[in-house]
Chain A
Amino acid sequence: MLDVQGLNKAFGGLRAVRDIDASFERGKITAIIGPNGAGKTTFFNLVAGAIRPTSGRILLKGEEMTGLRADLIARRGVARTFQTTALFDHASVLDNLIVGHRLRTRSGFWDALIGSGRLAAEERECRRKAEEALDFVGLSHIGNRLAADVSQDERKRIAFALALTTEPELLLADEPAGGVNPDETNGLAALMRKIVATGVTLILIEHKMRMVMELADKIIVLDHGEKIADGTPQDIRSHQRVIDAYLGADHAAAH
């Protein structure tokens, strides 16, 4: 699904991402772990086109997309959720989601001016997509609530719903379970499984190791911008460099 080759990103003297080679299989869940500042979010920013790599290549389904603008990458089927989701707080949850399907519509200014049939049809389609996505994440009962009034867990789910309205093939989720309680973490893990079951490929950044170990088919470990290990959760658990660099002594002791 996604292949990166020799990917580098330097911010001035800081090499946030160094020589990363990795491939991500279609329909699988890959987790990226690593300490704070390891370059995980930067890696997502590179894949999503929010920033340009210093060097290296990014291929989606074998097609070159290095250096492509973020909105064009989104159109090619890459969606993402952010560490913090910037919802428009003074609009309803549903209103926040309707624009998500915009990238699959074509109406412009002239359609709005004359009130074209195409615009009306596309607006219905966007609303339908939003309702469908909200239902999928289990929040159809809060569609009319103001985004300001939703809980942290609901906010995380809305972020997924928003990503789903773009009809992605590849979904990048940045700490999707950050700041929610253990029960809610389980609920979000279940939601991610449900998303992958529809054929979406998922890459997630996550700190909650229990969740990662249960959820991921494959794990990539970053440290100081470098990939120091990758493999199945089993491999990673026993990987000495990972234990040293990231999991720490107490983790090794715990297992």
Chain B
Amino acid sequence: MSVRLAITALAIGLALVFPFIAPNDYYLSVMALVYVNALAALGLNLTAGYTGQLNLAHGGFVAIGAYTVGLLTVDYGTPFWIAFALSGVVAAGLGFFVGLLSLRLKGHYFAIFTLCVGSVITLLIEKWDSLTHGVVGVIGIPAPPGLGPIRFDTSIGQYYLVLAFLLLGLFVMRRIVDSLVGRTFVAIRNSEDLAEALGIDLMRNKILAFVISTFYAGVSGALYAGYVRFLGPDIAGVSRTFDLLSASVLGGLGTLTGPVVGTIIVAWLTQYLQFLQDYRMVVFGPLLILALILFPRGIVGSLELWAARRKAMAEPRAPQAAPLAGASENA
């Protein structure tokens, strides 16, 4: 437990001093975008990892959050923070209806349905010119205005802003997954038949997970819009969902910090492999597969499994307690 606390403190400490040790602003911007993606991955992990429902429209919900901020601020003059607050709500509200429609489908059918939902969102953004500016995209999104003395229009300010949201996202996610609510989600992933026989309302809990997950997606999109300040339809693309997913798998699906660890590793690996240009995936693909052979449950998942085994080993074995009790019952 104290090891975990030490790692947490170290990681947060590192993230906090990173702007002062980073050689230049470029590093800062890479890391800020990592945090934005990690927040989206946290949400994806709640459905795909903890609840066992592979939502391939997740990138679409990120886009909806981003476009909520982009369109409201640029076309309707809505103050940034109001648009920002709405982004999560809009994504989660839409998530509620999509979840209602799709979550009765099981396994692959759900994944395929959400894949289609993702494509529909991309198409809508591309074709509904009058609302979304179509392929031209949304230009001139304002930077997040400062709050009191804190400014977010500098790269350091932006960095701390997205970091704060990622940490908040982790904090809230930890509360959820460590609680009975999270245990309920895991029971559904483990076996829907068993969960139902244990009195768990499948639909209600799946929708809850889906709504929370799309809320995370929406907020991530809003941060993205405020950071990049330009939006095009490509951000809704299914390939972005797959990027989030493969990073989460590498870090550990169904673990709290796995998606964050995975997103950070993938981002820096991508940076280092930049010189390979289009051949990057030739190296990246096998590396991912190798990592999954070494860590089948992802990096964090495998570490946690190892720790759990050690804890079980350390347990003093009550010698023969059960067989004896069983034998006396028979007598």
Give A contacts to B, CB under 8 Å. 48, 50, 69-72, 74-75, 79-80, 82, 85-88, 90-92, 95, 98-100, 102-103, 105, 107-109, 111-113, 115, 119, 122-123, 126, 138-142, 144-146, 149, 162, 166, 184, 186-187, 189-191, 193-194
A48 to B196, CA, bound (A): 10
> A67: shortest Cβ distance to chain B, in Å?
15
Q: Is B200 in contact with A103, judged by CB distance below 8 angstroms?
A: yes
Identify the interface centre among B309, B311, B312: most chain A CB within 10 Å of its CB: B312
> A182: shortest Cβ distance to chain B, in Å?
11
Say which residue of A98, A108, A146 sits within 8 Å of B312 (CB atoms): A146
Segment of B12-20, B109-117, B261-269, B322-330 in the binding face:
B322-330
A147 to B88, CA, bound (A): 38
| A92-B308, A103-B200, A166-B198 known; A119 vs B330 contact (CB < 8 Å) | no
A139 to B321, CA, bound (A): 8
Instruction: Apart from A79-B197, A102-B184, list 18 A-B contacts with CB within 8 A.
Output: A50-B193, A74-B199, A82-B193, A82-B194, A86-B194, A88-B187, A91-B186, A98-B180, A102-B180, A107-B179, A109-B208, A113-B172, A123-B179, A141-B321, A146-B309, A186-B326, A187-B326, A194-B329
CB neighbours (8 Å) of A146 from chain B are: 305, 308-309, 312
> B21: shortest Cβ distance to chain A, in Å?
34
Q: Is B175 in contact with A71, judged by CB distance below 8 angstroms?
A: no
Q: Is B75 an interface residue (CB 8 A)?
A: no
Q: Is A113 in contact with B322, judged by CB distance below 8 angstroms?
A: no
Identify the interface centre among B199, B202, B326: most chain A CB within 10 Å of its CB: B199
Question: Which A residue sits closest to B301, measured CB to CB?
Answer: A90
Say which residue of A102, A113, A190 sits within 8 Å of B183 (CB atoms): A102
CB neighbours (8 Å) of A108 from chain B are: 181, 208
Number of contacting residues on B, CB 8 A? 42
Question: Can you name 17 A-B pairs with beta carbons within 8 Å?
Answer: A70-B196, A71-B198, A71-B199, A79-B197, A80-B197, A82-B194, A87-B190, A90-B305, A98-B183, A102-B187, A109-B176, A111-B179, A112-B175, A113-B176, A141-B321, A141-B322, A144-B312
> A125: shortest Cβ distance to chain B, in Å?
10
CB neighbours (8 Å) of B196 from chain A are: 50, 69-71, 74
CB neighbours (8 Å) of A190 from chain B are: 326, 329-330
Please classify the interface of chain B as helix (H, G, I), strand (E, B), loop, or mixed, using the class held by over half of its residues.
helix
Q: Is B297 in contact with A99, judged by CB distance below 8 angstroms?
A: no
A119 to B297, CA, bound (A): 30
A62 to B190, CA, bound (A): 34
CB neighbours (8 Å) of B199 from chain A are: 71-72, 74-75, 102-103, 166
Say which residue of A69, A86, A109 sits within 8 Å of B181 (CB atoms): A109
A108 to B208, CA, bound (A): 9
A72 to B202, CA, bound (A): 11
Please classify the interface of chain A as helix (H, G, I), strand (E, B), loop, or mixed, using the class held by over half of its residues.
helix
CB neighbours (8 Å) of A70 from chain B are: 196-197
Q: Is B191 an interface residue (CB 8 A)?
A: yes
State which residues 169-189 of B face A: CB under 8 Å.
Answer: 172, 175-176, 179-184, 186-187
Identify the interface centre among A99, A107, A140, A166: most chain B CB within 10 Å of its CB: A99
> A249: shortest Cβ distance to chain B, in Å?
31
Interface string of B295-324 (1 = CB under 8 A from A): 001000100010011011001011001110
Say which residue of B301, B312, B323 sits within 8 Å of A92 (CB atoms): B312
Q: Is B175 in contact with A113, judged by CB distance below 8 angstroms?
A: yes
Q: Is A86 in contact with B311, judged by CB distance below 8 angstroms?
A: no
Task: Give 8 closest A-B pairs by Cβ, nearest first.
Answer: A103-B199, A74-B199, A190-B329, A141-B318, A86-B191, A187-B326, A112-B179, A70-B196
Q: Is A71 in contact with B201, judged by CB distance below 8 angstroms?
A: yes
Q: Is B63 an interface residue (CB 8 A)?
A: no
Q: Is B212 an interface residue (CB 8 A)?
A: yes
Q: Is A112 in contact with B181, judged by CB distance below 8 angstroms?
A: yes
CB neighbours (8 Å) of B181 from chain A are: 107-109, 111-112
Question: Which B residue sits closest to A116, measured CB to CB?
Answer: B179
| A102-B184, A112-B181, A146-B308 known; A138 vs B325 contact (CB < 8 Å) | yes
Q: Is B200 in contact with A85, judged by CB distance below 8 angstroms?
A: no
| A90-B297, A107-B179, A119-B179 known; A138 vs B193 contact (CB < 8 Å) | no
> B308: shortest Cβ distance to chain A, in Å?
6
A74 to B195, CA, bound (A): 10
CB neighbours (8 Å) of B311 from chain A are: 92, 144
Q: Is A99 in contact with B176, judged by CB distance below 8 angstroms?
A: no
Q: Is B179 in contact with A99, judged by CB distance below 8 angstroms?
A: no
A144 to B200, CA, bound (A): 24
CB neighbours (8 Å) of A149 from chain B are: 309, 312
CB neighbours (8 Å) of B183 from chain A are: 95, 98-99, 102
A230 to B317, CA, bound (A): 45
CB neighbours (8 Å) of B180 from chain A are: 98-99, 102, 105, 107, 112, 119, 122-123, 126
A198 to B297, CA, bound (A): 41
Interface string of B279-309 (1 = CB under 8 A from A): 0000000000000000001000100010011
Say which residue of B193, B198, B208 sits within 8 Å of A162 (CB atoms): B198
Say which residue of A90, A95, A102, A138 sits within 8 Å of B198 (CB atoms): A102
> A185: shortest Cβ distance to chain B, in Å?
10
> A3: shortest Cβ distance to chain B, in Å?
21
Q: Is A99 in contact with B305, judged by CB distance below 8 angstroms?
A: no
